Amino acid sequence: MDAALRLGAADEAIAVLRETTPFGDASEALLARIAGIARRARYAAGARIYSADDAADDIFVVLSGRAEHVFKPEVGAREALRRVTRGGVFGWAGLLLGQTQRLATVTAIEPTEVLRIDTEALVGLLESEPLEGGHVMERFASMIQREFTLPALLAQVRRLSGPLTEEMSSLSLTLYRLSLWLRSPRPYLMLVGFALFLGFWYLAVEVWKLPRFREMPGLTNVVREWLSPSPTYGLSLYIAEYYQHIAMSVWRVAQGFFLATALGVPVGLLLGWSRSFKEYVFPVFETLRPIPILAWVPLAIVMFIATESAVVYLAFLASFFATALNTMLGVESIDESYVRAANCLGADRWQVFRHVIIPGALPFIFTGLQISIGVSWFSLVAAEMVSGQYGLGYVIWTSYVMVRYPTIVIGMVTLGIVGYVTSALVRIAGDYLMEWRVRELALAER
């Protein structure tokens, strides 16, 4: 007996849809719409719900009871027999590419109540929800492969044809991921973590006054100082000098980093690509690389007349080795088959370099760049501490020397934030250039 859904029953429908794999994390709005097009149906124990090769019109969601789902043998599922109970979804053959007929025979073992959702209507609905729609389809695909053990070739769901879903822009993907994240327990655990850390700092220094912690600048002192329009020790968010120091450090790192990238990437590419170049250059490279960057400080001061260039040189050096090395490893790790395929297809040496080597090495190069910017900051801070005149490292050191302890922490925190932001910028640039990899990794995560 089919019956249209009444208003109160809609809640029950939404509740069971929440328990399913494909619709499990969809929004309330979408679930309500799906409930709106669903119809209920009841089957007695032993009744045949449908047979293989019937027309695949409705998708079924089990509300109560139990049914037996048996694939026909040609389908090649690893486990042909599956029992579905509440929250189980079957009858999705119509969602697969090139499928219009049922792949299985389903029989009710106990009295069973289901929701029937017309396949085409569902697809239309999902197409009108560009972000969520694609996500739901992907979850169908993964359910079909994992829970129903259908081989990958068959388990390919149709691609929704809405204009936005064809190429989900990175921005909308990010926004969607953000909304998913907010609904998970993660942000709250994070708050717990920070609360523990900051709480301990506060208590240890200012309340319990633990032995070694007594001398340390306390959390409230630091925060008050940082946010004060007229800070006791001279630096806060309101003071222009604060931003001058930040700008100085960032400017130095930027110079070092970009120089290192401009020099390091080509050198790394050559090291990976040309064996004779590597044989000539790599020994010298590997001899100089282990020398810690800071061991260069005195020599840099001697070599460079201006302290400024010496500091930039140190930031550059650290970056350079990391970038060149990672680029070289990137080139070397490219699967030989790609180069061979390109050769077969008639590409000459330069074309192979441009179309295979460089894009192939790009993921490694960007990992290297992220490492290199971190290393660059590391060296810069040390260099500034030793011989700088502006900059965050200088701030930290002089604050210590002049017994301005809260400012030390301000400097450290600022360094952390700025360092993180620059590193994230590099990563975003990488994601932008390598959309193919972002998608590949996203699919793998499901």
Partner 1 sequence: MTRGHIVIEDVVKVYDPQGAAVMAVDHCTLAIEPGEICMIVGPSGCGKTTLLNAVAGFHEITSGRIIMDGEVLCSPEKPRSTPGPDRIVVFQNGALFPWKTNLDNVIFGPVMQGKLARKEAIDKGRAMLADAGLSGVEHNYPGEVSSGMRRRVEIVRALMNDPKALLLDEPYRALDSLTKSVMHEALLEIYYKNKVTIFFITHDLEEAIFLGHRVAIMTTRPCKPKKILNVDIPHPRDYSALTSKRFRELIEETNDAVHEEAWKAFQAGEKEG
Partner 2 sequence: MKKMLSNPALWRGVVSIAVFLVLWEIGARSKQWMAPEFFAPFKEFLGAMGFKKDYLPWIGAVPAPSAVLDSWTAVFVDASYWQSWYMSFFRVMSGFIAAMLIGIPFGLSLAMSRVAHGIGFPVFEVLRPIPPLAWVPASIIFWPTQETAIAFITFLGAFYTIVINVLGGARSIDVRYFQAARSMGSSRWDIFRRVILPGTLPSIVVGSAVGMGITWEVVVAAEMISGGGSQIGGTRGGGLGFFIWLSYVGGSYEQIVVGMISIGIAGFVSSELLRWGGRYATPWLKAR
Point out which residues bind partner 2 (CB under 8 A): 185-186, 188-190, 192-194, 196-197, 212-213, 215-216, 276, 279-284, 287-288, 290-299, 301-305, 374, 377-378, 381-382, 385-386, 392-393, 396-397, 399-400, 405, 408-409, 411-413, 415-417, 419-420, 423
Q: Is 279 in the site for partner 1 (CB under 8 A)?
A: no
Binding-residue total with partner 1 (CB under 8 A): 36
CA separation for the pair 308, 170 (Å, rounded): 39
Contacts of 260 (CB under 8 A, 6+ apart): 315, 316, 317, 318, 319, 320, 322, 323, 372, 376
Query: Within 333-352, which residues bind partner 1 (CB under 8 A)?
Result: 335, 337-338, 340-348, 351
426 binds, among partner 2, partner 1, none (CB under 5 to 8 A by kind): none
Based on CB atoms, which residue is closest to partner 2, 119 or 249?
A: 249
413 binds, among partner 1, partner 2, none (CB under 5 to 8 A by kind): partner 2
Minimum CB distance to partner 2, residue 320 (Å): 15
417 binds, among partner 2, partner 1, none (CB under 5 to 8 A by kind): partner 2
Closest CA relative to residue 224, chosen from 215, 243, 237, 213: 237
277 contacts 366 by C-beta, under 8 angstroms: no
**Residue whose token pair is 């929250």:** 87
Based on CB atoms, which residue is closest to partner 1, 48 or 340?
A: 340
Stretch of residues binding partner 1 (CB under 8 A), selected from 80-88, 102-110, 242-250, 357-365: 357-365
Closest CA relative to residue 136, chosen from 27, 257, 287: 27
CA separation for the pair 409, 268 (Å, rounded): 38
Minimum CB distance to partner 1, residue 347 (Å): 4
End-to-end CA distance of the chain: 38
CA 88 to chain centre: 30
Q: Is 166 in the site for partner 1 (CB under 8 A)?
A: yes
Based on CB atoms, which residue is closest to partner 1, 338 or 378?
A: 338
397 binds, among partner 2, partner 1, none (CB under 5 to 8 A by kind): partner 2
Question: Which neighbouring-strand residues pair with 58?
Answer: 118
Eight-state DSSP code of residue 361: H
66 contacts 126 by C-beta, under 8 angstroms: no
3-class state of residue 108 by DSSP: strand
Based on CB atoms, which residue is closest to partner 1, 110 or 166?
A: 166
440 binds, among partner 1, partner 2, none (CB under 5 to 8 A by kind): partner 1
Minimum CB distance to partner 1, residue 81 (Å): 18
CA separation for the pair 274, 276 (Å, rounded): 6
Stretch of residues binding partner 1 (CB under 8 A), selected from 4-12, 205-213, 281-289, 432-440: 432-440
Cα→Cα distances 265→219, 252, 315, 368, Å: 43, 20, 16, 10
Cα→Cα distances 147→23, 82, 113, 141, 442, Å: 15, 9, 21, 10, 20
Footprint of partner 1 on this chain (CB under 8 A)? 75-76, 97, 151-154, 156, 159, 166-167, 335, 337-338, 340-348, 351, 355-356, 359-360, 362, 434-437, 439-440, 443
